[in-house]
Amino acid sequence: MQKASTKEKNYLRDGFYARTPGEEIKCPDVYLTVNQFIEDVTARVNAAVPKDASADEASKARSKVIAEIEKESRDQTGLSSKVRTFWEGGAYHLYRGKSFTDVRLVFAPEYQITQYGGDPDNFEYPRYDFDICFFRVYESNQPVKVKDFLKFSPVDTREGDLVFISGHPTDTSRSLTVADLALQRKTISFALGFNNQKEVLLVNWSARSEENARRAMTDLYSCQNERKLADARFAGLLDPELMAAKAKAEADFKARLAGKPEFAEALAAYDKIEAHDKSAWTQYQHRQLIVGSGFDCASIGIARYLLVVPPNSEPLPKFPDPRYKEFERALFADNPIYPDFEILKLANSLTCMVGQLGLEDPLVQKILAGKSPHERAAELINGTQVRDLAFRKRLYEGGTSAVAAANDPLIEVARLVDAESRALSKISDSQDEMMNQAKAAIDHAKFALDGTEGYPDASFSLRLAFGTVKGYEEDGHPVPAATSFAGLYDRAKEMKNRPPFDLPPLWTKRKSHLNLNTPYNSVSTCDMGMGNSGSPVVNRAGEFVGIIFDTNLQALPWDYVFNDKQGRAVEVESVAIYEALDKIYQAKPLVRELVNGQRN
């Protein structure tokens, strides 16, 4: 919507509705892939790997046969084909999907109502977001005729209803061991400390001028979102019930492995992981500071690219050649960079780094060069030329010798850090390999004992979940399963319609048209994760009754283990979609099409 907007038409602010097919907006960078077929190819993959192969040989043989399977499938069917790995190689499935690239926008509400309540209400419940839109998919310039589809239900769900969601959750960390979770607690707490420090800094700096606020906005949003995620996951890791459940499951499983020679490696893997996790902390911390949190500004990112992107520079390990298409794009992106904001962020992140490593650290001494973090940040940002695009192009073309000759203070700091970071990467690579092998041994044992009884960590693969529409209790008060339009208007009134609690004009103007008792957002116990936003919610009859857009805070620890005491998936009810399309947006043809399958 942002891309389709112009100076005259601000779709993001005003929303969009194509009253006729001709008004629909083509979305060139949107495509849809519909899964057609899943085939178990485990036997073929395993057969291609010689029994006595080394880890390295096995990995190569596996990649080779997977590439063959994918190519055969593409050649035979013309469908996009991808082999996905589960249980660290316990199973391999071939996914075939049909892709549609002609996708057109039919309807989208005002951006403000899609994320009503902004950061303050993000991940909170009760919620009041109309976070939906409608696309139409075309093939050969004609709307695609779909045989199998989810019938739209204009009837609301009720407390206790069984519901299903399907989607592609990106990743979960449920196979983390108890030792991993202890390490996770430290790493999250560490990252949260930096994030909090940055958030208060940005809030304060933003309050000092409107231009500051504009410059800091994106960084601040990202801090706020990170903080909610980290806070909620940290809370999970401090929940004795969650941790006891993880400990019990691990102890039970280890008991099943004990005394069986075929699982000796898996049992030993737990000890290896624990030993690694106990020793990994200091190194993790050091790496985080050097590679990430210690240098939080755009200029040093560019300086770092200038060390690795020019054609004759030393490549970074683990990146393919022809390399760095993305890095190159980033190097030449002409985004505005504000020196004052850069100094603020670099001074803050250097302060965090120096605070952790201490002034006595030899690398810190080189980085600071006798100055305080703030003075040094000002000196580096004021002294560097990397914000100048022509300078970057000249250095890129001149290669490493031009970069060295530039004698740019920020590039020289990047060089110090680059050397340290490569050294740390080498240590971490060999440890990662050890950890991967240990995790694979455990996963193989799990698969050998339980097969597909449980489900593996999410990894973008298609997944069906089930649950119940259900409220919960919080701090001794009941939280009902559904909100209503009346609740939305109450929230706006309570917050005096001030951003981010302001209603779009149409929602104010046509309030009286709405049935205010219509269920709006609701929650269910469906096990979901990041990536399920947009998943359809389906009832027992197989009808579409809503669309997922969030979880509450209490579901964020689902990353570690599912628990439906308070954790909930949050959806927009189909009945709310129906009512708002009809009464607020007066999109009658769309409403008819949803319910009857035709516009008129």
Query: Which residues contact a second copy (rule: CB under 8 A)?
Result: 119-121, 124, 185, 189, 192-193, 196-197, 199-200, 203-204, 207-210, 224, 227, 234-235, 238-243, 340, 343, 351, 354-355, 359, 365, 368, 370-374, 378-379, 382, 474-476, 494-496
Are 195 and 557 in contact, with CB atoms under 8 Å apart? Answer: no
Identity of the residue, 120 or 505, whose beta carbon is nearer to a second copy in the bound complex? 120
Least separation in angstroms between CB 358 and a second copy: 8
Nearer CB in complex with a second copy: 108/378: 378
Nearest 5 degrees, angle CA 382-CA 422-CA 331? 45
Closest distance to a second copy from the beta carbon of 370 (Å) = 5
Instruction: Give the nearer residue to a second copy in terms of CB position, either 194 or 578.
Output: 194
**CB of residue 243 vs a second copy: minimum separation in angstroms?**
6
Output the smallest distance, CB 267 to a second copy, in A: 23
DSSP assignment letter at 483: E
> Closest separation between CB of residue 199 and a second copy, Å?
5
Backbone angles phi, psi at 545, to 5 degrees: -115, 0
Cα separations in angstroms, 597 against 24, 540, 590, 592, 594: 18, 21, 9, 7, 6
Instruction: Work out how close the CB of 436 gets to a second copy at its nearest, in angstroms, rounded to a whole number.
Output: 28
Assess whether the previous peptide bond of 154 is cis (omega < 30° from 0). Answer: no
Identity of the residue, 199 or 420, whose beta carbon is nearer to a second copy in the bound complex = 199
Cβ count near 278 (within 10 Å): 11
Question: Toward a second copy, which CB reaches closer, 238 or 389?
Answer: 238
Nearer to a second copy, 56 or 494 (CB): 494
- Name which of 28 and 358 has its Cβ closer to a second copy: 358
* Maximum separation of any 2 CA atoms in the chain, in Å: 76
Helical packing angle, 409-450 and 298-308, nearest 10° = 80
Structure-token pair, residue 529: 């994760």
In whole angstroms, give the CA distance from residue 178 to residue 145.
Answer: 50
Q: What is the nearest approach in angstroms of a second copy to the Cβ of residue 325?
A: 36
User: Residue 165 or residue 488: which is nearer to a second copy going by CB?
Assistant: 488
User: 119 or 543: whose CB is closer to a second copy?
Assistant: 119
> Tokens standing for 109?
């509400």
CB of 259 to a second copy, least distance (A): 28
CB 435 within 8 A of CB 275: no
Give yes or no for a contact between 95 and 41, defined as CB atoms under 8 angstroms apart.
no
The count of residues in the chain is 600
Nearer to a second copy, 242 or 572 (CB): 242
Residues 6+ apart with CB under 8 A from 8: none
Minimum distance, C-beta of residue 176 to a second copy, in the bound complex (Å): 16
b/e map of 302-322 (b: 16 or more CB within 10 Å)? bbbbbbbbbeebeebeeeeee
**C-alpha to C-alpha distances, 416 to 142, 300, 356, 412, nearest whole angstrom:** 58, 12, 18, 6
Q: What is the DSSP letter of 291?
A: I
> What's the half-sphere exposure (Cβ side, CA atoms, 13 Å) at 4?
21
Rounded-to-integer distance, Cα 557 and Cα 125, Å: 16
Q: Which is nearer to a second copy, 449 or 495 (CB)?
A: 495
Q: Radius of gyration over alpha carbons of the chain, in Å?
A: 27
C-beta of 105: minimal distance to a second copy in Å? 32
Q: How far is the CB of 231 from a second copy (least distance, A)?
A: 8
Strand partners, 571: 522, 548
